[in-house]
């Protein structure tokens, strides 16, 4: 396995690369499709999947000439099969169909399914030794030790798609792993970067969804506002780059131009910079170990300044909680992620206030520890079981947390 660049050997990309897109109709999947459209002679699409949008999936499968299309919802099988009628494209539905898509003979797999449903298909791709472009957090946050061990055993290559981890990935190529002093991931600081804590506590859903730089879905946008996204990225970096919690730093960088980097023992720092466009790291992974033409370029002459500051863990306690979960280990990161998803959904539904998000996550972690459910998952089913238990606990705690005043 080559999960980090210091293990990769120079190679020439194949003339045609076969690819599978798990989560083809989502934001990451759509950006990947955009890049494939720009280089159709370099890529052949083996399989595509979606959660629920059977019509869009069928249209995409036809356009890209996919051989197999699968929708996660079993009830949508007939709709998908009808939409593919006469195309010669095989149809599937349900969790096992997603796993089948991942097992199809593609050189490269984009793993962009969100939620716990991503674990088994992504593991299936890794288990057959594929190049896995990892775009979801759950595989590493919920089962990082298991996932990386299985990928290593199969000789898979794990490429990080997330802009910060991809930046670290590229920066690590400048030296040996033993020469790394620290890994740096950057954060925009979100919409509340300069707000006092009293104002943050009163933040509305609309205010939290106004990200200053990135266009993302509502869940990740709220995670950016709370800085839980950086907490989860610390956990991911730990597994991707075999780094301890004390080797990973977060820097707030409001311009979102420097995405991450590495400091070496001699004091040298190497960082990756680029526009805030997810097609840049996706293009790097799609063409790896070669390069391909991107969709956007950065104009240095239009950059007024690049600034950096330390994150404030008092105003943004999610960072502290994530670091504590990483230190605790075992199932704590799984509980952290599950509780956060319940909390964010409740906030978006206006059932709790913004400060209740971190409060619910912390309460769920404490309750999970007290009940002895922070076990290390030994297989995907155990990881899903810990996730489900944590979600149930978080839901039970929700009324109590919602009643708290801040």
Residue 213, marked binder = no
Residue 16, marked binder = no
Residue 136, marked binder = yes
Residue 137, marked binder = yes
Q: Which of 197, 200, 218, 198 is nearest to 209 (CA)?
A: 218
Q: Which of 316, 290, 364, 6 is nearest to 172 (CA)?
A: 6
Q: Which of 107, 105, 94 is nearest to 50 (CA)?
A: 94
CA distance 192 to 189: 7
Q: Which of 2, 297, 294 is nearest to 173 (CA)?
A: 2
Residue 188, marked binder = yes
Residue 27, marked binder = yes
Residue 370, marked binder = no
Residue 30, marked binder = no
Per the CB < 8 A criterion, the answer to whether 182 and 263 are in contact is yes
Sequence-separated (6 or more) residues with CB below 8 Å from residue 88: none
* Count, residues in the chain: 406
CA distance 168 to 243: 12
Residue 52, marked binder = yes
- Look up tokens 């104002």; give the residue: 199
Note if the bond before 289 is cis, omega within 30 degrees. yes
Residue 144, marked binder = no
CA distance 385 to 372: 13
Query: What angle is formed at CA 187 by the lines to CA 183 and CA 188, rounded to 5 degrees?
Result: 155
Residue 26, marked binder = yes
Residue 230, marked binder = yes
Residue 162, marked binder = yes
As annotated, the binding site includes 25-28, 51-53, 136-138, 162-164, 188, 211, 217, 224, 229-230, 233
As annotated, the binding site for NADPH includes 25-28, 51-53, 136, 138, 217
As annotated, the binding site for Mn(2+) includes 162, 164, 233
As annotated, the binding site for 1-deoxy-D-xylulose 5-phosphate includes 137, 163-164, 188, 211, 224, 229-230, 233
């Amino acid at each position: 396995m080559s999960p980090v660049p210091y293990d990769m050997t120079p190679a020439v990309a194949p003339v045609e690369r076969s690819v599978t897109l798990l989560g083809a109709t989502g934001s990451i999947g759509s950006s990947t499709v955009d890049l494939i459209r720009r280089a159709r002679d370099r890529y052949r699409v083996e399989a595509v999947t979606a959660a629920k949008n059977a019509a869009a999936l069928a249209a995409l499968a036809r356009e890209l000439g996919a051989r197999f299309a699968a929708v996660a919802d079993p009830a949508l099988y007939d709709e998908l099969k009808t939409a593919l009628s006469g195309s010669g494209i095989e149809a599937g539905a349900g969790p096992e169909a997603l796993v089948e898509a991942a097992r199809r003979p593609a050189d490269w797999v984009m793993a962009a399914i969100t939620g716990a449903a991503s674990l088994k298909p992504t593991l299936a791709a890794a288990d057959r030794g594929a190049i896995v472009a990892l775009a979801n957090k759950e595989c590493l946050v919920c089962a990082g030790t298991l996932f990386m061990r299985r990928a290593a055993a199969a000789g898979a290559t794990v490429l990080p798609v997330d802009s910060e981890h991809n930046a670290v990935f590229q920066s690590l190529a400048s030296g040996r792993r033993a020469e790394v002093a620290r890994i740096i991931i950057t954060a925009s600081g979100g919409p509340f970067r300069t707000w006092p804590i009293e104002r943050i506590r009163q933040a509305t859903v609309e205010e939290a969804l106004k990200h200053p730089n990135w266009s993302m879905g509502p869940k990740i946008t709220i995670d950016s506002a709370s800085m839980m996204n950086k907490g989860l990225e610390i956990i991911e970096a730990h597994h991707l780059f075999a780094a301890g919690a004390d080797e990973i730093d977060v820097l707030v960088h409001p311009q979102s131009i420097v995405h991450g980097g590495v400091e070496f023992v001699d004091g040298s720092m190497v960082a990756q910079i680029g526009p805030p466009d997810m097609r840049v790291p996706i293009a790097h992974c799609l063409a790896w170990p070669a390069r391909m033409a991107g969709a956007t370029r950065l104009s240095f002459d239009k950059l007024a300044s690049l600034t950096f500051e330390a994150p404030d863990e008092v105003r943004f306690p999610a960072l502290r909680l994530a670091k504590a979960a990483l230190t605790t280990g075992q199932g704590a990161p799984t509980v952290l992620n599950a509780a956060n998803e319940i909390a964010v959904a409740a906030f978006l539904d206006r059932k709790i206030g913004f400060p209740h998000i971190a409060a619910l996550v912390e309460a769920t972690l404490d309750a999970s520890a007290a009940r002895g459910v922070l076990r290390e998952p030994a297989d995907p089913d155990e990881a899903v079981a810990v996730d489900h238990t944590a979600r149930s606990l978080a839901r039970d705690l929700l009324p109590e947390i919602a009643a708290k005043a801040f």
